[in-house]
Chain A
Amino acid sequence: MRAFPEYFTFWHIAGHYALRITAYIVLAFLILPILVIVPLSFNAEPFFTFTPGMLALDPEAYSLRWYNEIITDQKWTLAIWNSFVIGVAAAILATVLGTVAAVGLASPWMPFKRLITALLLSPMIVPLIIIAAGMFFFYTTFGLVGTYAGLIIAHAALGVPFVIITVTATLAGFDRTLFSAGLSLGASPVKVFWDVVIPLIRPGVISGGLFAFVTSFDEVVLVLFLAGPEQRTIPRQMFSGLREQINPTILAVATLLVILSIALLVTLEILRRRTERLRGSR
C-alpha cells in the first residue's frame, strides 16, 4: 500500500485506483487482440475460432499444419520473397536519397527550406487511396504498373518522410563545424559526408531505413492498385485471403509477423539507446 498525502479523502484514493484499473483495461484492449491470434494459429481444424479440444488443452487439437502450409504453398513463398525484395529495395532507395537530402536540409544555407521539407514529408499525410489512384494513372503511362520497379519506386516515396524525420533528429545533435573542418582540410564534400557525417549519424540512418522497410512491408493499398499477380506481397496475400477464403494460414502468417515486430521493436530500442549514449558522451 503506497502512502497518500494527508489531504486525500476516500474519494481521492478511490479515484486513483479507478484510474489505474482503467489504464490496465485499455492496455489489455491494446494487446489482447494481437495475442489471441497466436494460440488460434496452432488450430488443428480449419477454423478461426477455439475448438472445444483446444479449450480442454488436448494436444490433438493443436498442430503446425498452417505453418507447414506457409512454406509449402507457392503463393505464400512467393509473397514472402516479394515482400522482402520490394521492402529492402524500397528501403535502400529511400534511405540513400533521404539521408543525403536530410544533410542538405540541415544546412543553414538551404534555400526554400520550409516549402521543400513540407513537400518531402507530404507522402506521410496524403491518404493512401489518393496516392494509389494518382500513381495508377501516372505510372500506367510509363509502363510501371504490374512491375517490381513501379512498386519499389512507390514504396520508396512512402518511406522517404520517415528517413527525413529520423535522420534530421539525429543531425540536431551533430556539430556542423565538423563538416567545415573536413572541407577546410581539403576533403571534397562527398568525402566529408562519407567519412565524417555518416559514421556519426549512423543510428538515425539505420532506424530511418527500418521505418522505410516496415512501411513497405506493411503497405497494401498501393500493392492492390499497382501490383500484378507476380508481385503479390504478404499483406496483399492476407488481404485476398481475408476477402475470399478465410483459413488459419493467415493466422500463422500473422503470428510470424507479430514475432517480427517484436524483434523490430527491440532493435529500434537498442538504436535509440545508442543515439542517446553517443550524445551523452560528447
Chain B
Amino acid sequence: MVKAHQHRLPPEDARNAAREVRARRLRAFLFVAPLLAFITFAFVAPIASMLFRSAYNPTVADLVPDSLQALADWDGEARPSDAALTQFAIDLKRLANDRTSGQLAEEVNRFLPGTSSVVKSTARQLRRVEDTTLADTGATLLLEANAAWSEPGIWRALRKAGQTYTSSYYLTALDLEQTRDGSIQQRDTKIYLQLYSKTLWMALIITLLTLILGYPLAFHMAHSSTSHANFLMVFVLLPFWTSLLVRTTSWIALLQTNGVVNSTLMALGLTGDPLEMLYTQFSTIIAMTHILLPFMVLPLYSVMRGIDPSYMRAAMSMGSRPIPAFLRIYLPMSLPGLSAGALLVFIISVGYYITPALVGGTDGQMISNIIAFHMQQSNNWELAAALGSLLLFLIVALYWLYDKFIGAGNIKLG
C-alpha cells in the first residue's frame, strides 16, 4: 500500500513515510526479540549442536594428532611404517599416563569391535617404558606387546576414528558400512532400519486404533445437543489433562499379571491362567492409544461440529442407504479433521519415549528408547545424535506434509 502511493508523494513525505514504516517494523520486532534470543539459546542451539555432533567427533584427532599425521600417507594395505608405529607407541604411553587411553580404546573399538582390550593392555605395558627407549625401539615394543598391531585392520580403524568430520555414524544409523575400497554396502544385521520400520509400524497401528475409536465418539458428540456434548467433552479432556505418568501407571495396574484385567477375565472364567500382557508390544500400543486418543477426538470433533446435518438427511430422505450416504457425503466432509488428527497422532507416537520405556519390555521399544540407550548406557553420543537427527528429519518431513495439506494454524488447545 505504502509503496504504491510513494511516487505521488513529495520526496520529504516519502522519506518520512519510509522512516515511519521502518520504526513500526522495528517496534514490532523489538517485542519479539527477547523471546527469539531465549529460544535460540535454550532450544535452537541445542538442536543444532546435536546435528553437528552427529557428523563431528574430534576425540581421537585430539588424543593422537601426531600418530594420525604419521599415518596420513599410509596406503592402508600392509603394516604401516616403523616410524608411524613408533610415533603411536610414544602417543599411547602419554595417554596411559594421562589416563585417557581408555577413551581411545572405546573410540577405536566402535570401528573394529574387540580392539578395546588390545589398546588398553598395550597402554598398560608401555606406561613404564623410558622415553628414549621408546623413541628407539617403539615399533618393536608395540609389536611385542600385542600381535594385533602387525595387522593393517586395527590401523585402518584408528585412522577412521581419527577423522574429525565423519559420515560413519549416519552409516551405522542406517545399517550401512563403508568397505575398504570406499563403496557403501548394507550390513548383514539390520538393527536400526528394523527399529525405524517397527516404530513407524507401531505408530501406524496406534493411529488406526485412535481413528477407529475416536471417529464414532466424535461423531456422536458432534450430533448431540451442545450441553450434552460439553458434558461428554469433560471425559475427553480429563485424560488429556491428566499426567502422562498417571495414565501409564493406570495401565500397569490394569495389565500386570495379577492386575485388574486378568482378575476380571479369570473371575468371568474366560481364561484359566493370567495372560502376560504387560511389558509387551501389545501393552505399549494399548497404553499409547489411550494416551493419544484425545488428540484424534479433538480435531475430529471441531470439524464435525461444523458439518451441516441436513446434507446427510437430504441424501437419506431421497433413498440413499446410510453407508453409501456416509461414505460419499459425510466422510469426505470430515476429512480435514480426520487427517489432522491422524497426522498429529502419528507424529507424536513416532517420537514417543516414556510409555514404551515403562510398559514396553523388550519388543515394545521404539527408536526413542534406543537413542536414550546410546545417550545413557553405551555412551555413544555421536550415534545417538545421528539416530536423533534422522528421527528429526522424519518428523520435519511429516510436519511439512501436515502444514502443506492441513495448515499448522489448525492446532487447537482444549
Q: Name A residues whose Cβ lies closer than 8 Å to a Cβ of B.
A: 5, 7-8, 11-12, 15, 19-20, 22-23, 26-27, 29-31, 33-34, 36-37, 40, 48-50, 93, 97-98, 100-101, 103-105, 107, 109-111, 116, 118-123, 125-139, 153-154, 156-157, 160, 162, 165-166, 189, 211, 214, 217-218, 220-221, 224-225, 234-235, 238-239, 242-243, 246, 250-251, 254, 257-258, 261-262, 264-265, 268, 272
Contacts A48-B252, A105-B32: A133 and B375 contacting too (C-beta < 8 A)? yes
- Interface readout for B33-76 with A: 1 if CB under 8 Å, 0 if not? 01110110111111111100100000000000000000000000
Q: Are B245 and A239 in contact, CB atoms less than 8 angstroms apart?
A: yes
Chain B residues, Cβ within 8 Å of A98: 35
* Of the residues A154, A165, A221, contact of B42 by C-beta under 8 Å: A154
Of A5, A36, A133, A246, most buried by chain B (CB within 10 Å of CB) is: A133
Contacts A19-B216, A254-B249: A111 and B25 contacting too (C-beta < 8 A)? yes
Contacts A48-B253, A97-B34, A127-B391: A120 and B354 contacting too (C-beta < 8 A)? no
A132 to chain B, nearest CB (A): 8
- Interface readout for B370-387 with A: 1 if CB under 8 Å, 0 if not? 011001100001001100
Q: Are B245 and A254 in contact, CB atoms less than 8 angstroms apart?
A: yes
Chain B residue at minimal CB-CB distance from A11? B322
Complex Cα distance A48/B252, Å? Answer: 8
Chain A residues, Cβ within 8 Å of B238: 31, 34, 258, 261-262, 265
- Interface readout for B195-221 with A: 1 if CB under 8 Å, 0 if not? 000000000000000000110110111
Q: Are B368 and A160 in contact, CB atoms less than 8 angstroms apart?
A: no
B288 to chain A, nearest CB (A): 13
Chain B residues, Cβ within 8 Å of A129: 351, 353, 368, 371-372, 388, 391
Q: Name B residues whose Cβ lies closer than 8 Å to a Cβ of A.
A: 21, 24-25, 27-32, 34-36, 38-39, 41-50, 53, 213-214, 216-217, 219-221, 232, 234-239, 241-254, 256, 258-260, 263, 290, 293-294, 313, 316-317, 319, 322, 347, 350-354, 358, 368, 371-372, 375-376, 381, 384-385, 388, 391-392, 395-396, 399, 408, 411, 413-414
Complex Cα distance A269/B251, Å? Answer: 28
Q: Are B246 and A265 in contact, CB atoms less than 8 angstroms apart?
A: no
Q: Are B384 and A133 in contact, CB atoms less than 8 angstroms apart?
A: yes
Chain B residue at minimal CB-CB distance from A219? B244
Chain B residues, Cβ within 8 Å of A254: 243, 245-246, 249-250
Complex Cα distance A211/B38, Å? Answer: 19
Pick 30 A–B contacts, CB within 8 A, sort by A: A22-B217, A30-B235, A33-B290, A37-B253, A100-B31, A107-B24, A109-B28, A119-B44, A125-B395, A125-B399, A127-B353, A129-B388, A129-B391, A131-B46, A131-B47, A133-B381, A136-B375, A137-B385, A153-B42, A211-B413, A218-B245, A224-B372, A238-B245, A239-B245, A242-B249, A242-B252, A254-B246, A254-B249, A261-B241, A261-B242
Tally A-B pairs: CB < 8 A.
270
* Of the residues A23, A119, A127, A139, contact of B351 by C-beta under 8 Å: A127
Chain A residues, Cβ within 8 Å of B220: 19-20, 22-23
Contacts A23-B219, A262-B238: A101 and B31 contacting too (C-beta < 8 A)? yes
Chain A residue at minimal CB-CB distance from B220? A23
Chain A residue at minimal CB-CB distance from B381? A137
B25 to chain A, nearest CB (A): 5
B261 to chain A, nearest CB (A): 10
Chain A residue at minimal CB-CB distance from B244? A218
Complex Cα distance A157/B45, Å? Answer: 12
Contacts A36-B260, A126-B395, A154-B42: A5 and B50 contacting too (C-beta < 8 A)? no
Chain A residues, Cβ within 8 Å of B217: 22-23, 26-27
Q: Are B413 and A166 in contact, CB atoms less than 8 angstroms apart?
A: yes
Q: Are A34 and B250 in contact, CB atoms less than 8 angstroms apart?
A: yes
A102 to chain B, nearest CB (A): 8
B95 to chain A, nearest CB (A): 23
Of B45, B243, B322, B411, most buried by chain A (CB within 10 Å of CB) is: B243
Q: Are B246 and A15 in contact, CB atoms less than 8 angstroms apart?
A: no
Complex Cα distance A170/B341, Å? Answer: 24
B359 to chain A, nearest CB (A): 9
Chain B residues, Cβ within 8 Å of A5: 313, 316-317
Chain A residue at minimal CB-CB distance from B262? A49
Chain A residues, Cβ within 8 Å of B250: 33-34, 36-37, 254
Chain A residues, Cβ within 8 Å of B45: 138
* Of the residues A12, A162, A242, contact of B358 by C-beta under 8 Å: A242
B87 to chain A, nearest CB (A): 32
Complex Cα distance A261/B294, Å? Answer: 15
Q: Are A235 and B244 in contact, CB atoms less than 8 angstroms apart?
A: yes
Complex Cα distance A216/B356, Å? Answer: 21
